Amino acid sequence: MIIDEPTISDPKKNSRKATAITVAVVVHLVLALVFLLVAIIPAVRDEPEIVAQVVAPSQSSQPKMEKKAVMKQVEQASSAAAASPIAKMMRANTAAKIAAPEVTRVSDGPIGLGEGDFGSGFGSGGGMGSGASFFGSRSTGRRFLFVLDHSASMRDSQVTLRDEELEKALKSLSPSVQYQVILFAGGCLFAVDGWKYDSGGRGNRYNVIDPKGNKYPFFAKNGAFDWDFDGPDSKMPTERWLPATSSNVKKTMGFLKKIDKFYGTDWELALKMGHLMKPPPDVIYFMSDGNSKIDLDNIIRLNRANGSPKVNTFAMQTSAGAEDFNSIAEGTRGDFVIVVKDGTTIKGRDYLRNPGQYKDKLR
């Protein structure tokens, strides 16, 4: 009988085989990890932010060059993100059933700085803001209030110039934001169909009447430039904010074309009525053709107690009241601008530094 001898294994040979298997497994794991990272990393990059800048018309071409450079960078970043494998797979497999909101940013300063605006489609009650420009003064916000002189001293040419600029400003607003217009002389009313005033034949007292027939009495305390409301502040005229739609803008401009000018000029009363709107404005554009009696400290206190809106002030073809225009603007972080006859403007601070330089342009 032949008996097989037991097979004796080679330890060195077995060790080399185990090492080779281990190395192969590690290499495959490393390669799998590398491919996974290549596929995932481009997909988790932040989406490029689309940034736009509101720039007033200028003779310089520098803003256009800056904007072109930014858009080129955005296009490059967008192309890189879109080329990732995960992005391609998502585009191929995702049904486009959800509309993404439009995302923009409006800035008063250099790209990425200043007051932000994230466009329409976010939040409620007017989105998160928009930019507005009036006689070259630019600001951003959600609620814009125009407080405009409509007194008998305003010449027809001044009213026309004012209304043309107002229409451009309102039409440039995003429909997602809100606006309102107050016309003032001695008292104040809103530029909304149904609002009117009735002097009753007396020059120093009259009622402002709202569309529902409610009466708001105003009276002259001490001449044409010092008026008051006959009642508590809580009973002053009020009106809702209007979405900046083309329909609303058309109605506002139609009202301005048919409302007659009225007597008196009182800045403080008009600014009080504007600040007391609910919710308060983010930006006020205040324009007058001359000065009135004011308590500057009271105006600043009123501003800070009601949302601290920026007040941009405009002297319509006059230097009268320049110091007061400037003080209101400085006290509320706003701009002071003087409008000259052809619609061009002078920076208020430049005028105050050298009034004689502009005497031929202003009355």
Of 76-80, 98-102, 218-222, the poorest mean pLDDT is in 98-102
Question: What is the predicted pLDDT for the residue at 63?
Answer: 43
Cα torsion 214, 160, 154, 283: sign: positive
- 215-220 β-sheet, strand order: 196-198, 205-209, 215-220, 227-229
Q: CATH top-level class for 130-358? A: alpha beta
Mind giving me the DSSP string for 98-163? SPPPP-----SSSTT-SS----SSSSSSSTT-EEEEETTEEEEESEEEEEEE-BTTS-HHHHHHHH
The candidate with the shortest Cα–Cα distance to 186, out of 118, 265, 248, 278, is: 265
Alpha carbon distances (Å) from 267 to 185, 224, 328, 333, 348: 8, 11, 11, 18, 18
Residues 6+ apart with CB under 8 A from 47: 81
Print the SS3 string covering 155-187: CHHHHHHHHHHHHHHHHHCCCCCEEEEEEECCC
Question: What is the predicted pLDDT for the residue at 202?
Answer: 73
Question: What is the predicted pLDDT for the residue at 57?
Answer: 43
Q: What's the farthest any 2 CA atoms get from each other in the chain?
A: 145
Query: Where is pLDDT greater, at 120 or 258?
Result: 258
The candidate with the shortest Cα–Cα distance to 179, out of 141, 135, 122, 123, is: 141
Alpha carbon distances (Å) from 336 to 181, 343, 347, 348: 19, 15, 7, 5
Residue 241 phi/psi, 5-degree rounding, is -75, 145
**If pLDDT is split at 50, 70 and 90, which confidence band does 236 have?**
very high
Tokens of 165: 């600029």
One-letter amino acid for residue 301 of the chain: R
- What's 226's DSSP letter? -
Q: What is the percent of the chain where pLDDT is above 70?
A: 66
For the chain, what is the mean pLDDT? Answer: 78
In this predicted structure, the answer to whether residue 194 has a pLDDT above a threshold of 60 is yes
pTM to 2 decimals? 0.67
Q: What is the pLDDT of residues 251-306, one digit of tens each?
A: 999 999 999 999 999 999 999 999 999 999 999 999 999 989 899 999 999 999 99
The structural domains of the chain, with segments of one domain joined by +, span: 130-358
The candidate with the shortest Cα–Cα distance to 264, out of 181, 191, 203, 317, is: 203
One-letter amino acid for residue 157 of the chain: S
